[in-house]
Amino acid sequence: MALFILPSNATCLNLQQRLPDPRLRPWVQCLWSMAGQGSVVPPRTEKLYPDAGSSLTIRLASSQPTITFCFNKSTLLETFNPSETRLSIRFKAAGAYALLGLEPQQFSDIHHSLGIDDKPPWLDSLMPVVERLYQVNTVEGLALLEAWLMSRLECQSPSNSRTQNLAYEISRLQLPLQQLMANLGFTRRTLERKLKQEVGVSPGHLVSYARMYNARQLLTTSHLPLAEIALQCGYFDQAHFSHAFHKFTYETPAAYRKRKLSQIYKA
């Protein structure tokens, strides 16, 4: 799926991201952090668009850390508090299932706290790492999290699953779904079952995410009219595109383009 995109206020929030070790890249998009800056910068609300990925996030509060997992199946509005320090691992489609054994659909659209009612078996190995995060800066903290992921990789040794490969191929929008299933040896029933378990969404969701990502890119990097963008992204016409875009992003394509271009020019 698409690369992780930092929000427009990344500089204000002191957001940084780290590409994972090449051995982790089949499953991990990136690791990112937000360093606490006191109360100088006000909280910011951002839209988190779904891409079939999921996030393991650690919030470092003064009293005790909070570890959450979230799979945003739909677009979420999230408030980033600059006074808070957080570090997060952004997994690709099926990445959390392969490395952590988590089924994304059980964590849809909300940050679920881990460790109280829901304690996955790998949490004990993560807690010593979390304790060390209080003693280092966020750059070193991301390196510690990456090392922990590498230890998970060595323990579990997951292989590139056919499900993950298919999710990637669907997101490219290059071949019809029936042909992809035939190429990878799936029946439709098996495909939908495995996608639901390992990725958390249906084939139709993956197509929708990919089309919306392409549309968002074209809206901000080209001067193409909306009707042309609609056709290039696989919609019947501009009306179909506008309806789908508004349902996905909570704003019209024209409003999205205006807002994003305004942020670019201000920068």
Q: What is the pLDDT of residue 196?
A: 93
Q: What is the pLDDT of residue 29?
A: 94
Residue 31, SS3? strand
What does the pLDDT profile of the chain (267 residues) look like in tens digits?
334 444 555 556 678 899 999 999 999 999 999 887 665 678 888 889 999 999 999 999 877 899 999 999 999 998 888 788 999 999 999 999 999 999 999 999 999 999 867 789 999 999 999 999 999 999 999 999 999 999 998 887 666 567 888 888 899 888 888 888 888 788 888 889 999 999 999 999 999 999 999 999 999 999 999 999 999 999 999 999 999 999 999 999 999 999 988 876 544
Q: What is the pLDDT of residue 208?
A: 95
Please choose, from the candidates 79, 80, 73, 77, the residue with its C-alpha nearest in 3D space to the C-alpha of residue 103.
Answer: 73
Q: What is the pLDDT of residue 84?
A: 87
Stated pTM of the model:
0.89
Q: What is the pLDDT of residue 100?
A: 93
pLDDT in tens, 161-214: 678 888 888 998 888 888 888 887 888 888 899 999 999 999 999 999 999 999
Residue 68, SS3? strand
Q: Return d(Cα 172, Cα 2) in angstroms, integer.
A: 10
Query: Identity (one letter) of the amino acid at 238?
Result: Q
DSSP string, 158-179: ----HHHHHHHHHHHT-S-HHH
Residue 210, φ and ψ in degrees, nearest 5: -65, -45
Q: Return d(Cα 197, Cα 185) in angstroms, integer.
A: 18
